[in-house]
Copies of this chain bind each other. A is one copy, B any other.
């Protein structure tokens, strides 16, 4: 008792236990120990129990290097992130980390900004299989990239976006855009501007469908989308501010604006305030995301469960690695978005 208390958690021996140690302690051969620990068939239950016990007692953790070298999995998954510092990606990462950790997988982070970096990554990865799977955050993967990885036995999953030929978790961006636009239209707005952001590193234009939602919603309401009302800016608050300034410079400015995301929307609001305009009395603004600071700014938005997308993606990876997804690519998984009413939208020209 005294000893236990004194030694504290300094249980681990100086040099980690090996499989041989476990085998010896369990009175079996290393081969059997390996099979027992790896949940292979044809191992007597009693034996398996004994080995498990020994491993437990010795605080045994398999060496990933040795495992991999001998043909096993690495226990690692690569996560490709365009912008680790942005809230959206941070949330995705946090969700992913939780799921991967639960599955006892390590998360190796790679920042992959532009197309060249992406190409460099996909080029090098196959050379040495450092990971068992790749999670791509919010951008599409080219067919050939996918094929290459697949042929190497590396799973691939997309989080924060959609994909056709491989598992993905995201939201229906077009639908989210419709929620925002329909809200504005429902309030009575007819001249609605859109601040879209430049899509860097994505394959298709408007891959998230928000811009197409702007167009479609307008069309459905019998309003012809005026191209001058669609401005495209670099991502971020400053971009949003610039976009709003451009919209304000129009002969007939819009009465409401749908911004690609909350940070862009916040920038737009800043421009309006600086111009002495009241929000929402003079002009309504809506974003997408439900960024934590959107609440502080009372920004009306369409919320999406970002961390949850990361978590689900992580779960898909884990399932895939366990062989549960073999041969059947699950369809793109879409998580629900919802309109969050706050104080930056109101009927045109009317106080709320």
Contact = CB atoms under 8 A, between A and B. Distances in A.
A88 to B, nearest CB: 9
Given A89-B90, A128-B61, A98 B111 contact: yes
Interface centre among A106, A110, A267, A295 (most CB of B within 10 A): A106
Interface centre among A106, A109, A238 (most CB of B within 10 A): A109
Interface string A104-141: 00111111000000010001101111100000000000
A204 interface: no
A63 B59 contact: no
Interface in A282-297: 292-293, 295-297
A127 B97 CA distance: 21
Contact of A293 (B12, B62, B66, B266): B266
Given A87-B87, A90-B89, A111-B97, A127 B296 contact: no
Interface string A73-86: 01010010001111
A126 B91 CA distance: 29
A85 B87 contact: yes
A97 B109 contact: yes
A43 to B, nearest CB: 24
A324 interface: no
B123 A97 contact: no
A306 B13 CA distance: 38
A68 interface: yes
A158 B177 CA distance: 42
B87 A111 contact: no
A307 interface: yes
A16 B130 CA distance: 12
A100 to B, nearest CB: 9
A84 B90 contact: yes
Interface size class of A (residues with CB under 8 A): 35 or more
A63 B296 CA distance: 49
A91 B98 contact: no
Nearest to A240: B296
A147 to B, nearest CB: 11
Contact of A307 (B63, B85, B267, B292): B85
Interface in A238-263: 238, 241, 263
A93 B85 contact: yes
Given A65-B74, A108-B108, A267 B241 contact: no
A45 interface: no
A250 to B, nearest CB: 22
A76 to B, nearest CB: 8
Nearest to A111: B97
Given A12-B126, A128-B64, A107 B108 contact: yes
Interface centre among A74, A84, A101, A124 (most CB of B within 10 A): A84
Contact of A108 (B68, B90, B106, B119): B106
A94 B87 contact: no
A31 interface: no
Contacts of A65: 64-66, 68-69, 74
17 contacts: A16-B129, A61-B128, A65-B69, A69-B69, A84-B93, A84-B97, A85-B93, A93-B109, A97-B109, A98-B111, A101-B111, A108-B108, A236-B292, A241-B296, A263-B293, A266-B293, A270-B298
